[in-house]
Structure formats: C-alpha cells, structure tokens
Amino acid sequence: MNDLTQLTISQARAKLCAKEITATEITEAYLSAIERANPALNAYVAVTDDKAREMAKASDAKLAKGEGGSLEGIPLGIKDLFGTEGIHTQACSHVLDGFKPRFESTVTTNLWADGAVMLGKLNMDEFAMGSSNETSYYGPVVNPWRRSRLDTVVMPTTHQGDGGFVSAGGTRTAQTLDNAQLVPGGSSGGSASAVSAFLCAGATATDTGGSIRQPAAFTGTVGIKPTYGRCSRWGIVAFASSLDQAGPIARDVRDAAILLKSMASVDPKDTTSVDWPVPDYEAAIGKPIKGMKVGIPREYRVDGMPEEIEALWQKGIAWLKDAGAEIVDISLPHTKYALPAYYIVAPAEASSNLARYDGVRYGLRVPGKDIVDMYENTRAAGFGREVKRRIMIGTYVLSAGYYDAYYLQAQKVRNLIKRDFENVFAAGIDVILTPATPSAAFGIADEDMAADPVKMYLNDIFTVTVNMAGLPGIAVPAGLDAKGLPLGLQLIGRPFDEETLFQTAHVIEQAAGSFQPEKWW
Amino acid sequence: MSVDVKTVKRVARLARIAVSEEDAERMTGELNAILGFVDQLNEVDVSGVEPMTSVTPMEMKKRQDVVTDGNKAADIVANAPATEENFFLVPKVVE
C-alpha cells in the first residue's frame, strides 16, 4: 500500500510487527498528511512533530528487537483535554493560555507505555462544552464530509450505427460535492475529523453527554464511551466529574477495541476508577450474537426526527435480527428528562470545577484594581460565551434557595433514569439499540442553533442518558443519508460490559460496510 | 422559574465573571431559555427517590493517611503568570 495513512491500527500493527513498514515511515506519512490538510480542517491545535519522530524512532528500536507493545509505532492524535507533559494542554480555552503541564494524564501514560506515538493535540469545544466544535478558542473544526448535490445533466442524443448504443438524450443526475462546510460534531470534533480524514490512526476523546459518540456519528467513525470508572480521569481537564469518561475514536470497531484496552486501567490517583481486570476487547469481535436480546426503547422515537434516522434504526434492527438476535420492545420511561437533568448536573459540576481558573496558578491573567477585580476580569476575558453560560447556570442552581428545587431534583431524576436501565437489564436485555444522533452533521454557523442554545443541546438527546446512568455506549457508522452524509447507530450496554458492545457493533459494521469521505482538502 | 437582569448580575458576581450591562441582558434571555427547558423536571414524581450520590455502585477507596507526593514547588508554580521564590504573586489583599 502506498499511502500508509490508509491502514487501520490492526493492519498497521501487523505490518509493523512483520517489519514490512517502520514506525518512522508511518509517522512521517501522517505528519505530511497533517501539514497538507490541517489548514483546511483545523483538527490539530498543536502538532508535535519532533516528539512524534523521537517516539517513532524509539518504537522502531523496540520493534527491531521484537519487544514492541500492543500499540508500538501507532501514531495517535490526543484531544487537548488530556494533560500531556510539557505540551500544549488548554482544553481549547483562552483562559489556559500557554499552559504546559508538568504531568501526564494516566490515559496517555498508558498509551505511551504500550508504544503509541503522539502526533499532536486535537481541537475541541472549549472545556468540552459544545456539540459542534464551534466553541473552541482556536476556531471551528471542519468535517471532512460534505453534502453531495444532485445536479441534472442534459444528455446529448447520439446514435452509434446498427444495433449499437443509442442514447435518447434526456437528462441524468450527477453527484457533486456541495461546498458548504459542516461541523464534525463536538466536543471531540478534532478527534473525529482527524480520524475520518486520515490525519491519525486513532484518537483519544472524552464524553460527558455525547462528546465521543455524536462526533463519531457525524464523521462515519467509531466512538465508544466506556462505563464510568473504566478509564482513569486523572490528568484530564475536568468538566463534570460524575459524567466525564475518556474513550477512543477510531476507523473501525476493532481499532476502538484495541485502543480502549490500552486506555483503560485502575488508577490510585482516581478513586472512581474501577479495580477490575481490563478484558481483551478484541477477542469479543466476531463472536456470534445468536440469541442475544436487543432492546428497542420506544421513547427514542422523538418528534421531528427525520425519516432517514427511523429508517436507519429499522435497518439496524433487521441486521441484528438476521444475525440471530432476539428483538425486544422496551420502555425507558424517564428518557425525556435526561437532557434537562443533565443541564442542571453538568453545569453545577462545571461551575465548581472551573472555579480554579482565577489568573493565579496558571494561564491567563487580566489585571484589576484588586484581587477580586483581577479574578473577574480574567474569567470574563478567558472564558467563551458557552462556558460562561454554563458556569452561570451552575452557579445559579447551586445558589442558596435554589439547590433543592434544581440540583437535588435533578439528582433524584438521575436515579430514576438509571433505574429504567437497571429494570430492562434485569429483565434479560443484553444490549440496547438506538440512533446515535437525531440528525446528520449540520452547517458551521447554523443560525437556528446560534439563536437558541437549547437547540444545540438537543444534539445529545440520545447519548446523554448513557452518561446520566454511567453506562457504556458505542456509536458505529450504519449508512449515509440522501445527501451522502454518514449516520450512526448507538448500542448501550450493561455496566462494564463493553465486550458485548464491540461484539454487536461489529455485526452492524459487517452489514453496513465502512464509509470514507471523498477527499477535497 | 426565571431570572431578571439583577439576578444575572448577582450570579455573575458569585461566579467571579465581570459582565457588562449588555452581557447581562443577553445572558438573561439565554439563561431563561435554559431554565425554561429544565423546568419540565418538576413534573416528575420523585417521592421516595434518593438523590444520586454515585453513578456506579462502588465503595469509597481508602488509603493510609500519609504523604505520597510532594516536594514539587517548582513544578506547581511553573505555569503561574506571576511568581517569586516558589510563591504565587497576587494583587495586595491585606493593607
């Protein structure tokens, strides 16, 4: 293969181990792809070429001795939310200007220990707050996917002699790419765009309400948010600590399994990380799903959902049925309350977590006439609009007199949402199938969404329930819409049963095929 | 429930974010849209339901109360906008 960036992680791993290619060659291939594409896509906010070359060289030395780790020589992109020692880590916020941590997050430490190579830091919504990657201080990320436009072409009338081909003229339709720039989703928009556009073999991402699964669905990639506690949160910039989880975005289900195996671990530095062995997720891929009970929650059929999403869901149901699964209609009655409860819990936790950005310990400082004035000026200049909005909501719902009405009520509703899932799993459901998003990717600077923050929040309507209940969820590409944009399905599993998600997602992937954007950048 | 401009300014003060008159007015509309959206939680019957304290059933891990980390003053102040001899410098707070 000429272009090494086209290899999946599992293919690259095999070629590296067989010494058909070197880590340096594949790293160089990605670095030149980034150099060419990044001005158009804005997926990377920092490219660490020297570090990448140095890590690739070390990997080549190990591979030569046959001592490579499970990700030896595999070039990855890292979301800017992960603390990386001595390297740009700003959660794509102005308030963290110039921050280069003196520590390395546990997840990235695990990846480097397994031999992965860091290409750079990936763009994201500021502090992971957004569903379009438009809130980044570094500007929006562009989705490598574009809508196709059907143009009518007039055909000339031709005659080609006796019995030959005769065209009667008339018209035919030709597909061309529309120039409108689309969002890659968010908050892990840089991760999704980079994976989809072959600017890294795989990427780290994080998911608080859908930030791995929604961008994966918008870019035709695979994204898994593991169970809360599966990956250590240590060293990752905190947004909403009871909801945040790290996970991978990858080109296919197998690559996602390989990456999660490396990322997951128990960690004494995160007391919410779980002390259970990390299974070999790859081994689950290819296992038959015959007899598996797949729940179809009726509450996920929402008003105004495009028919294409419903059709995609039905296709997914048919594929799993064909593979021998038993399809069961289920009810998760509190589904509609997940998003409003999230918009109390997440901002409340964020307002507390983001209190640390005060112009004293790191990042931006804007002077003031006294210390309080300095805090207020720093935070006013350092945070973008969406982040301020959420800090304000969080501060309000936690303030005296409102705590019970908002925060306590939301935490009670959260228990009901979790109970809904517990009930269906107790009734024997193994996995739940839903659409991943209520629409395909939308345009950058969409006017409706800019005018009403709630419209943007509705992007996470199918994914946010999973965070509220701490469950694992995977988004897997399942088809294209009429305009040629990717659409994804979501599978939700029992706590710590990521294996069933990989197993089932692989069945969907086999049936649906894989999807690549047409290169225009 | 909804907020007025005065409440927004009070909340901004609590959150330590400087807001202009114009910001406060814009935020009032935005916050009311969000508060209007979350108001639907009031229709849920939560009688007898405990608020969630832990999303996965886990026991709080404990360890010996001993020092496991430290002696990194230079690392800790490395990213600060203003420091002196491993102290953070801030505007004068005591006259």
Predicted local distance difference test score (pLDDT) of residue B62? 87
Please indicate whether, in this complex, the C-beta atoms of A415 and B81 are within 8 angstroms of each other: no
SS3 A141: coil
In a domain, A83, yes or no: no
In a domain, A289, yes or no: no
Predicted local distance difference test score (pLDDT) of residue A152? 67
In a domain, A357, yes or no: no
Tell me the mean pLDDT in the region A248-255: 98
Question: pLDDT tens digits for A159-213?
Answer: 444 444 444 556 666 778 888 999 999 999 999 999 999 999 999 999 999 999 9
As for how many domains chain A has, the answer is 1
CA distance B51 to chain A (A): 4
Predicted confidence band at A125 (pLDDT cuts at 50, 70, 90)? Answer: very high
As for how many domains chain B has, the answer is 1
Nearest Cα residue to A486 out of A221, A305, A240: A221
CATH of the domain at B9: 1.10.20
Q: Which range marks the domain in which residue B25 is found?
A: 5-42
SS3 A246: strand
In a domain, A172, yes or no: yes
Question: pLDDT tens digits for A366-404?
Answer: 999 999 999 999 999 999 999 999 999 999 999 989 999
A193 is catalytic: no
In a domain, B64, yes or no: no
Question: E strands along B1-76, which residues?
Answer: none
In a domain, B9, yes or no: yes
In a domain, A227, yes or no: no
In a domain, A155, yes or no: yes
Average pLDDT, chain A: 95
In a domain, A262, yes or no: no
Complex ipTM value:
0.96
In a domain, A390, yes or no: no
In a domain, B48, yes or no: no
Question: pLDDT tens digits for A133-147?
Answer: 999 999 999 999 999
Beta carbons of A228 and A272 less than 8 angstroms apart: yes
- Those residues with Cβ within 8 angstroms of residue A324's Cβ, 6 or more apart along the chain or in another chain: A288, A289, A290, A291, A292
| Chain B from 36 to 55: CB within 8 A of any A CB | 37-42, 44, 46, 49-53, 55
- Treating both helix axes as pointing N-terminal to C-terminal, what angle do A9-17 and A49-64 enclose, rounded to 10 degrees? 50
Tell me the mean pLDDT in the region A299-324: 94
Question: pLDDT tens digits for A455-476?
Answer: 889 999 999 999 999 999 999 9
Predicted local distance difference test score (pLDDT) of residue A155? 62
Minimum CA–CA partner of A412 in chain B: B51
Q: Which range marks the domain in which residue A172 is found?
A: 148-177
Most confident of A148-152, A165-169, A311-315: A311-315
| Chain B from 51 to 80: CB within 8 A of any A CB | 51-53, 55-56, 58, 60-61, 63, 72, 75-80
Predicted confidence band at A156 (pLDDT cuts at 50, 70, 90)? Answer: low
Predicted local distance difference test score (pLDDT) of residue A154? 67
A59 is catalytic: no
Judging contacts by C-beta atoms under 8 Å, the chain A residues touching residue B56 are 227-229, 272, 274, 470, 495
pLDDT at A124 exceeding the cut of 80: yes
